[in-house]
Amino acid sequence: MAKNVNEQRLLNRFLELVQIDSETGHEEEIGEALKRLFGGLGLTVIEDDAKAKTGHGANNLFCELPATPGCENRDPIFFTAHMDTVVPGKGVRPRVDDDGYVRSDGTTILGSDDKAGLAVMLETVEILREQNIPHGPVQFIITVGEEAGLVGARAMDRSMIKAKYGFALDSEGKVGDICTAAPTQAKIHVAVIGKSAHAGVNPEDGISAIQVAARAIARMPLGRIDAETTANIGRFAGGGPTNIVCERVDIDAEARSLVPEKLNRQVKAMREAFESAAAEFGAKVEFASEIIYGGYKYDESDEVVRVAMDAVRRLGLEPRLFHSGGGSDANIFNGLGVPTVNLAIGYENIHTTKEQMPIRALVQSTELAVEIIRTVAEKA
């Protein structure tokens, strides 16, 4: 079991990181800081060209820790976290409260999603070095643009990932919880095109795109479809003066499922709802859908899950496997053929100004990362 986590050093590092502005798309400063911090610990830091591909403020970072002597043949593994945050994330002023939590001053997010993961990575390297813990090759992969639709991970070059499998440090829940499944997501854009006319003089000569779209949305399945499938309308835009029959409406939507066949059925149902409503009114529909990331699903028979569960138990905790309805960079790594599960690291109320981070969870997450590395190193 990992011992002697330097809690104050870990906390100080977390506080340092959350005070570096890094709203998604503006990762310049945090990217430079991370190169300095990981490089200062003796790791080789390699950048890709994600900045040019995505327009975000930095590149993805691949920080490489070579194996200790005698462990060169152990499975190479990786840990991943993202350097960007949601808004409002500028000028974060963290405070350490007496109840063992770190919070912002309430005007911004805290940024523990995912600077808690970054702090855990750095402290893990410190512990490995200080305690001379044998380990195989480890990569720490840090992405940009996760909060903007996983764009940094989607821009990665597969050849830069040298690990056999890995672990994302980026999930809500108690330390010891392991996300073993997440859905495929389809993004959908629909344009409903009607016909304009004067709303008071000759409305019967027009076709209201708003009415057509509303009819379609009312008849399609939305929300929680079943235990594995969801769908949502996120944006409905169109119209103008009330004396003109609305000619065009644009709709942005999504559908997700842990089962690809169910996702296909849901997207088909949404398309058919728009097309049938348009046919009734004599309108036109332009419907486009795109899979923006694939899903994954593992169980206790998979090596990446077994390693995580063994490490959790070595800490005296009981692992809990769960399925998520959300996506993360883990989806992209799995889509690239690198088995990855997402580990809960204890942050709470993320994406809100009430976000909070238990200091104890920072410590436990570091202990877990060290135990995973130790578990892999001890495998025959």
Which phi and psi angles does 378 have, rounded to 5°?
-90, -5
Where do runs of H (alpha helix) occur along the chain? Answer: 7-18, 28-40, 50-54, 112-130, 151-154, 209-219, 260-281, 303-314, 329-335, 359-378
| 157 token code pair | 């070059």
Residues with a catalytic annotation lie at 84, 146
Give DSSP secondary structure letters for 223-261: EEEETTEEEEEEEEEE---TTB---EEEEEEEEEESSHH
Rg (CA), the chain: 24
Question: Is 137:49 a contact under the CB 8 Å cutoff?
Answer: no
Integer Cα distance of 152 and 56 in angstroms: 8
One-letter amino acid of 194: G
Give DSSP secondary structure letters for 248-304: EEEEEEEEEESSHHHHHHHHHHHHHHHHHHHHHHT-EEEEEEEEEE--EE--TTSHH
Residue in 147, 170, 144 with CA at minimum distance from that of residue 30: 144
- Cα 182 to Cα 149, 178, 256, 292, 324, distances in angstroms: 15, 11, 9, 13, 5
Kind of pairing, strands 184-193 and 177-182?
A: unpaired
Question: Is 161:38 a contact under the CB 8 Å cutoff?
Answer: no
Sheet with strand 284-293: strands edge to edge: 223-226, 229-238, 248-257, 184-193, 284-293
| 380 token code pair | 């025959």
Residue positions counted in the chain: 380
